[in-house]
Amino acid sequence: MKKQHVFIGLIAVTGVVAGALILHRQPTETSGPVKVTPPVAAVPPAAAPAETPPDVVPEAAAVPAAPVKEVVMKKSAKQKSGKAPKAPIQDPDARVALSLVGADPAAEAYWESAINDPNLPAEERKDLIEDLNEDGLSDPKHPGPQDMPLIASRLQLIEELAPDAMDQVNGDAFAEAYKDLISMANGEEQK
Protein backbone atom coordinates (compact mmCIF):
# COMPACT_ATOMS: atom_id res chain seq x y z
CA MET A 1 0.00 0.00 0.00
CA LYS A 2 2.81 2.42 0.93
CA LYS A 3 4.68 1.62 -2.33
CA GLN A 4 1.52 2.44 -4.27
CA HIS A 5 1.28 5.87 -2.62
CA VAL A 6 4.95 6.61 -3.32
CA PHE A 7 4.54 5.52 -6.93
CA ILE A 8 1.43 7.68 -7.39
CA GLY A 9 3.24 10.61 -5.77
CA LEU A 10 6.19 10.23 -8.16
CA ILE A 11 3.85 10.13 -11.15
CA ALA A 12 2.09 13.29 -9.93
CA VAL A 13 5.38 15.15 -9.43
CA THR A 14 6.64 14.04 -12.86
CA GLY A 15 3.41 15.22 -14.46
CA VAL A 16 3.61 18.62 -12.78
CA VAL A 17 7.24 19.13 -13.83
CA ALA A 18 6.57 18.01 -17.42
CA GLY A 19 3.53 20.25 -17.63
CA ALA A 20 5.51 23.22 -16.33
CA LEU A 21 8.25 22.62 -18.89
CA ILE A 22 5.78 22.37 -21.76
CA LEU A 23 3.80 25.43 -20.70
CA HIS A 24 6.86 27.60 -20.20
CA ARG A 25 8.74 27.01 -23.44
CA GLN A 26 9.52 30.33 -25.08
CA PRO A 27 8.15 30.83 -28.62
CA THR A 28 10.70 31.07 -31.42
CA GLU A 29 9.20 34.17 -33.04
CA THR A 30 7.14 36.90 -31.46
CA SER A 31 5.76 40.19 -32.59
CA GLY A 32 5.82 42.10 -29.31
CA PRO A 33 6.11 41.89 -25.54
CA VAL A 34 5.27 38.50 -24.15
CA LYS A 35 4.40 37.61 -20.59
CA VAL A 36 6.23 34.51 -19.49
CA THR A 37 5.80 32.87 -16.14
CA PRO A 38 8.90 31.33 -14.62
CA PRO A 39 8.95 27.56 -14.17
CA VAL A 40 7.23 26.40 -11.00
CA ALA A 41 8.92 24.05 -8.60
CA ALA A 42 6.96 20.86 -8.10
CA VAL A 43 5.13 20.46 -4.82
CA PRO A 44 5.05 16.95 -3.42
CA PRO A 45 1.57 15.44 -3.26
CA ALA A 46 -0.28 15.49 0.02
CA ALA A 47 -0.07 12.25 1.92
CA ALA A 48 -3.21 10.16 1.63
CA PRO A 49 -4.96 9.24 4.84
CA ALA A 50 -4.03 5.83 6.20
CA GLU A 51 -7.59 4.57 5.91
CA THR A 52 -7.90 5.24 2.15
CA PRO A 53 -9.19 2.12 0.36
CA PRO A 54 -6.72 0.59 -2.16
CA ASP A 55 -8.94 1.38 -5.18
CA VAL A 56 -9.08 5.14 -4.42
CA VAL A 57 -6.27 7.28 -5.87
CA PRO A 58 -5.39 10.49 -3.99
CA GLU A 59 -5.50 13.73 -6.01
CA ALA A 60 -2.25 15.50 -6.86
CA ALA A 61 -1.55 18.54 -4.73
CA ALA A 62 -2.38 21.87 -6.28
CA VAL A 63 0.59 23.89 -7.47
CA PRO A 64 0.52 27.44 -6.14
CA ALA A 65 0.42 30.16 -8.78
CA ALA A 66 3.78 31.76 -9.40
CA PRO A 67 4.04 35.52 -9.82
CA VAL A 68 3.90 36.60 -13.44
CA LYS A 69 7.02 38.27 -14.80
CA GLU A 70 6.89 40.34 -17.96
CA VAL A 71 9.65 39.60 -20.43
CA VAL A 72 10.10 41.83 -23.44
CA MET A 73 11.21 39.90 -26.48
CA LYS A 74 13.16 41.32 -29.42
CA LYS A 75 11.19 43.54 -31.77
CA SER A 76 9.88 41.98 -34.95
CA ALA A 77 11.08 43.15 -38.35
CA LYS A 78 7.93 45.26 -38.76
CA GLN A 79 8.49 47.05 -35.45
CA LYS A 80 12.15 47.78 -36.24
CA SER A 81 11.74 49.17 -39.74
CA GLY A 82 8.10 50.21 -39.76
CA LYS A 83 7.58 47.98 -42.82
CA ALA A 84 5.80 44.69 -42.97
CA PRO A 85 8.18 41.71 -43.19
CA LYS A 86 8.47 40.13 -46.63
CA ALA A 87 6.32 37.13 -47.36
CA PRO A 88 8.13 33.79 -47.53
CA ILE A 89 9.62 32.96 -50.92
CA GLN A 90 7.27 30.69 -52.85
CA ASP A 91 9.81 29.55 -55.45
CA PRO A 92 13.22 29.20 -53.76
CA ASP A 93 14.56 27.30 -56.79
CA ALA A 94 14.05 30.43 -58.88
CA ARG A 95 16.31 32.31 -56.43
CA VAL A 96 18.99 29.66 -56.94
CA ALA A 97 18.56 29.82 -60.72
CA LEU A 98 18.86 33.62 -60.59
CA SER A 99 22.51 33.42 -59.59
CA LEU A 100 23.22 31.45 -62.80
CA VAL A 101 21.17 33.58 -65.22
CA GLY A 102 23.41 34.54 -68.13
CA ALA A 103 25.79 31.64 -67.56
CA ASP A 104 23.62 28.49 -67.52
CA PRO A 105 20.85 28.05 -70.11
CA ALA A 106 18.87 25.59 -67.96
CA ALA A 107 18.91 27.91 -64.94
CA GLU A 108 18.01 30.83 -67.19
CA ALA A 109 15.01 28.92 -68.60
CA TYR A 110 13.78 28.10 -65.09
CA TRP A 111 14.22 31.72 -63.96
CA GLU A 112 12.38 32.99 -67.07
CA SER A 113 9.42 30.69 -66.39
CA ALA A 114 9.31 31.91 -62.76
CA ILE A 115 9.27 35.62 -63.64
CA ASN A 116 6.43 34.93 -66.09
CA ASP A 117 4.40 32.85 -63.65
CA PRO A 118 1.20 34.78 -62.82
CA ASN A 119 0.78 32.64 -59.68
CA LEU A 120 4.04 33.95 -58.23
CA PRO A 121 3.53 37.12 -56.15
CA ALA A 122 4.42 40.34 -57.97
CA GLU A 123 6.98 41.28 -55.28
CA GLU A 124 8.80 37.97 -55.70
CA ARG A 125 8.88 38.32 -59.51
CA LYS A 126 10.14 41.89 -59.11
CA ASP A 127 12.97 40.75 -56.82
CA LEU A 128 13.91 37.94 -59.21
CA ILE A 129 14.41 40.51 -61.97
CA GLU A 130 15.90 43.42 -60.04
CA ASP A 131 18.44 41.18 -58.31
CA LEU A 132 20.13 40.41 -61.63
CA ASN A 133 22.55 43.14 -60.57
CA GLU A 134 23.52 41.23 -57.40
CA ASP A 135 23.11 37.45 -57.41
CA GLY A 136 25.89 35.54 -59.15
CA LEU A 137 28.37 38.42 -59.25
CA SER A 138 31.65 38.21 -57.35
CA ASP A 139 31.03 41.56 -55.59
CA PRO A 140 27.89 43.48 -56.56
CA LYS A 141 29.22 46.74 -55.09
CA HIS A 142 32.54 46.45 -56.94
CA PRO A 143 32.20 44.09 -59.90
CA GLY A 144 35.50 43.02 -61.38
CA PRO A 145 36.61 42.18 -64.90
CA GLN A 146 35.55 38.56 -64.33
CA ASP A 147 31.94 39.79 -63.91
CA MET A 148 31.76 41.74 -67.18
CA PRO A 149 30.78 38.79 -69.44
CA LEU A 150 27.92 37.91 -67.06
CA ILE A 151 26.79 41.55 -66.89
CA ALA A 152 26.84 41.81 -70.70
CA SER A 153 24.88 38.57 -71.02
CA ARG A 154 22.25 39.81 -68.56
CA LEU A 155 21.94 43.15 -70.36
CA GLN A 156 21.31 41.30 -73.62
CA LEU A 157 18.75 39.06 -71.92
CA ILE A 158 16.87 42.07 -70.53
CA GLU A 159 16.85 43.68 -73.99
CA GLU A 160 15.22 40.51 -75.34
CA LEU A 161 12.68 39.97 -72.52
CA ALA A 162 11.66 43.49 -71.43
CA PRO A 163 9.56 44.38 -74.49
CA ASP A 164 7.31 41.38 -73.77
CA ALA A 165 7.12 41.83 -69.97
CA MET A 166 3.98 40.14 -68.63
CA ASP A 167 2.92 43.19 -66.61
CA GLN A 168 3.99 46.62 -65.37
CA VAL A 169 5.72 45.13 -62.30
CA ASN A 170 8.04 43.06 -64.50
CA GLY A 171 8.53 45.97 -66.93
CA ASP A 172 9.57 48.33 -64.13
CA ALA A 173 11.85 45.67 -62.63
CA PHE A 174 13.56 45.11 -65.99
CA ALA A 175 14.15 48.87 -66.33
CA GLU A 176 15.68 49.05 -62.82
CA ALA A 177 17.94 46.02 -63.38
CA TYR A 178 19.03 47.32 -66.78
CA LYS A 179 19.92 50.75 -65.34
CA ASP A 180 22.01 49.14 -62.58
CA LEU A 181 23.76 46.69 -64.93
CA ILE A 182 24.64 49.50 -67.39
CA SER A 183 26.12 51.44 -64.48
CA MET A 184 28.18 48.37 -63.52
CA ALA A 185 29.33 47.82 -67.10
CA ASN A 186 30.50 51.44 -67.21
CA GLY A 187 32.58 50.93 -64.06
CA GLU A 188 30.49 53.33 -61.95
CA GLU A 189 30.51 53.02 -58.16
CA GLN A 190 27.50 51.00 -56.93
CA LYS A 191 25.42 52.03 -53.93
Domain coordinates in residue numbering, the chain: 2-81, 92-185
Give me the pLDDT at residue 54, please.
Answer: 52
In the chain, the amino acid numbered 23 is L
| DSSP state for residue 116 in the 8-state scheme | T
Q: What is the pLDDT of residue 176?
A: 96
Burial class (CB in 10 A: 0-12, 13-18, 19+), 140: middle
Model pTM greater than 0.75?
Answer: no
Residue whose C-alpha is closest to residue 151's, from 116, 125, 176, 186: 186
Looking at residue 83, its pLDDT comes to 63
Longest CA–CA span in the chain (Å) reads 95
- The dihedral sign for the CA sequence 168, 171, 173, 175: negative
β partners of residue 35: 70
pLDDT of residue 78: 42
- Euclidean distance between CA atoms 50 and 58, whole angstroms: 11
Give how far the C-alpha of residue 136 lies from the chain's centroid of Cα atoms, to the nearest Å.
Answer: 23
Q: E-strand spans in 104-177?
A: none
Q: Which of 56, 171, 154 has the alpha carbon at shortest distance from 104?
A: 154
Average pLDDT along the chain, 191 residues, taken 10 residues at a time: 53 48 46 42 46 49 43 43 73 95 96 97 96 92 92 96 97 96 87 69
pLDDT (0 to 100) of residue 1: 58
CB 19 within 8 A of CB 47: no
